Structure 1
């Protein structure tokens, strides 16, 4: 198993746009990794974005002098070799992958039959063949805005994960969540049927974040998302909502949970999920604000929380690290933020903390934790070097520290070998060989 994987950019895109790989990354021009998933057979898929924005790009601009944005999906073999790359333009008027408005991040999922999905707000889903050669189907809709005429669509979900039983754990958006005039994640649900190019299953809503989204009309009803036998929307959704369950004893719900955010759920067991809930973020100081990793069963009942984190000392707000990943086959949950790597057992007990202020684990502050493979490997992405770190999580969580240290040592050696092989410039790994599928 490779401890390090390089996330490549096709040479053809570099040549077409004369993209300067030696230039430092900026908000307007960068390469970023949004998600990584692994199949039960060991194939790894990475979803990345390459963009450039030029303020002075006019209507007569050529590809080398224009702004652009692409989604890149890379498939790696179990041995770590790049086997395929798919490219989709964010500006393409038709046939491209459905993407989130304003370039917001989206997620990947591998369905039980091997089909890959990309998922984005507001509930836009695309089904892609495992070899990345074609888009099999899309379930999408236009962005819903209060000042524009409603346009119906055919949405599914903004996040999907596969439960060991084969069911789908989904998050869907609702218009007016937290009073915003847009669609944001608000419903956690389970789909028992198959998602295929021929049709989508009904999602059974089990939890909501905001119990009373604002400014909804009958246009906002979602027939494929059901609660109590009726379409979710207007006054119909699971109650009490997560924000109500987490209301402090004072009863002042908006003291902590006004405009709260809903993170991507993690599957801890076939009937138990971890749902991140966090107070609204801001550009200023947010350390010390409220967050909870709620344990929710498949009927929507709250079964506790992931315990042991202090709101200040272990805050996920610096860097906005709200992701939790889980290994349902071994019953472990993991979270990485600026202050440590944390691991819990199935009952929510904090079993071990790897302190990132120590020499051994300080390198983890350069990474973001993305997912856990079916084989129990933790997948991290280096935030600047565009490399994947794979750590085989041990059966006994007490051995996690040794596993991470060993993986970091192997990563350093393999990174040196990759640099000799690829010759990256400013940590851009340019791939001249792998065939590119244009979706």
Structure 2
């Protein structure tokens, strides 16, 4: 199916007393991952706002939860995992922390992995009915000298075609930051396994920043290693990504406080896209430095996804930082307010679909979720809470025609779904799929 809705279990909406026609709730897809047989796992957020000064019962009506929904190839909801600090009905809070910028991946055995900042990683069953293992990172203040008692793994995880784990991991006491920041690109060796009781070592490939003079032995994370010891202080890959990109572009923004990494994704077993951003300004950041660097599995920057203008194609407006990749076909994709872009593995821009012309203006309102093993791009419609599936042609130059066809069929497909689900205010309720509170 070209379009399918992100559903909410009817029982959950009832428990939260969610009124679809009120204007105090929201829903958004955060990330997704596809399986080889066409199923899709979607990570989404569901919330209700209450006034800032609300007290008593009115304040208690506010909630924030995350949902992981498993969809069949035809879009049917198979199961939903609920992650909430307070389970409706007085149940125990979720064993999963609601971290920042959550992301999904699938291990070679089909088990979903949920990761979030600063270093929380959760291994689930494919049926979403059980949490198999958890590794968590405490946001220990940078001024604290207490020894670490947490057991982190990674802030983001992606899996290469050969089963290696490509990760972004966080460090304490970077520059003047008081809490851990994503700073290291690291990868597992072939054959490494993430499983209950088994956390593989990660080999550090690159570091964004190197100012770690405040770090102590308490800040070492044992499983992220450079050479024969954990990354700590000056013991880390060099030169830094900030210095490498400064040498390539001459922009000091990569070196300054506030630059950051986004989730790296594999283009092959030994080639990765690493999104690097020069930081944001309150007054607007369009035109500021960014790079989609191409890095090999030795940590060397081999090039970049090319053809982008810092101003005309800026991802900063709307915070569109995600790059999606299909390593089985060696293609990479990015979507922001100004266009949809597609590259081959050597960094050559093969398609640039501008959102300033018909019939592609609707792309400016959509968000990129992922590229699937079946050769599709998944996009999210934030107003109608729909996932759009775009089949990617073998020749990326034909991608504009494929996108145009999907956009042309959006209204018809949406109307067909409305007849089947009868949503209110674009809240798509589901009574069929299993619901699990993790």
- Provide TM-score, normalisation by structure 1: 0.93
Structure 1: where are the runs of 5+ without partners?
Answer: none
- Encode CA deviations 1:295-339: one digit per residue, 9 max, x unaligned: 100111110111111111111111111111111111111111111
Q: Residue 163 of structure 2 corresponds to which residue in structure 1? A: 166
Q: How far apart, in 2, do the equivalents of 1:249 and 1:170 lie? A: 24
Structure 2: where are the runs of 5+ without partners?
Answer: none
Q: How far apart, in 2, do the equivalents of 1:129 and 1:56 lie? A: 40
- Encode CA deviations 1:216-237: one digit per residue, 9 max, x unaligned: 2111101100002110122222
Instruction: List aligned pairs for 1:27-38, cutoff 5 A.
Output: 29-38=25-34
Q: Residue 76 of structure 1 corresponds to which residue in structure 2? A: 71
Instruction: List aligned pairs for 1:200-215, cutoff 5 A.
Output: 200-213=199-212, 215=214
**What secondary structure sits across from 1:70 in the alignment?**
strand
Instruction: List aligned pairs for 1:272-287, cutoff 5 A.
Output: 272-287=271-286
**What secondary structure sits across from 2:222 in the alignment?**
strand
Q: How far apart, in 2, do the equivalents of 1:49 and 1:150 lie? A: 33
Instruction: List aligned pairs for 1:17-32, cutoff 5 A.
Output: 17-24=16-23, 29-32=25-28
Q: Residue 365 of structure 1 corresponds to which residue in structure 2? A: 364
Q: Residue 176 of structure 2 corresponds to which residue in structure 1? A: 179
**What secondary structure sits across from 1:46 in the alignment?**
strand
Q: Residue 410 of structure 1 corresponds to which residue in structure 2? A: 409
- Provide TM-score, normalisation by structure 2: 0.93
CA drift at 1:426: 1.9
Q: Residue 238 of structure 1 corresponds to which residue in structure 2? A: 237
**Cα gap change, 1:210/1:24 in structure 2, threshold over 3 Å: closer, same or farther?**
same
Instruction: List aligned pairs for 1:216-255, cutoff 5 A.
Output: 216-248=215-247, 253-254=252-253
Q: How far apart, in 2, do the equivalents of 1:95 and 1:408 lie? A: 38
1:191 equivalent in alignment to 2:188: yes
Q: Residue 103 of structure 2 corresponds to which residue in structure 1? A: 107
**Cα gap change, 1:99/1:313 in structure 2, threshold over 3 Å: closer, same or farther?**
same
CA drift at 1:117: 0.9
**What secondary structure sits across from 1:138 in the alignment?**
strand
CA drift at 1:178: 4.6
Equivalenced residue count is: 430
Cα RMSD for the two superposed structures: 2.0
Does the CA contact (< 8 Å) of 2:277 and 2:291 recur in 1?
A: yes
Does the CA contact (< 8 Å) of 2:31 and 2:42 recur in 1?
A: yes
1:350 equivalent in alignment to 2:349: yes
**What secondary structure sits across from 1:179 in the alignment?**
coil
CA drift at 1:67: 2.2
- Encode CA deviations 1:270-302: one digit per residue, 9 max, x unaligned: 211111111111332211100111010011111
Does the CA contact (< 8 Å) of 2:47 and 2:62 recur in 1?
A: yes
Q: How far apart, in 1, do the equivalents of 2:105 and 2:122 lie? A: 10
Does the CA contact (< 8 Å) of 1:201 and 1:224 recur in 2?
A: yes
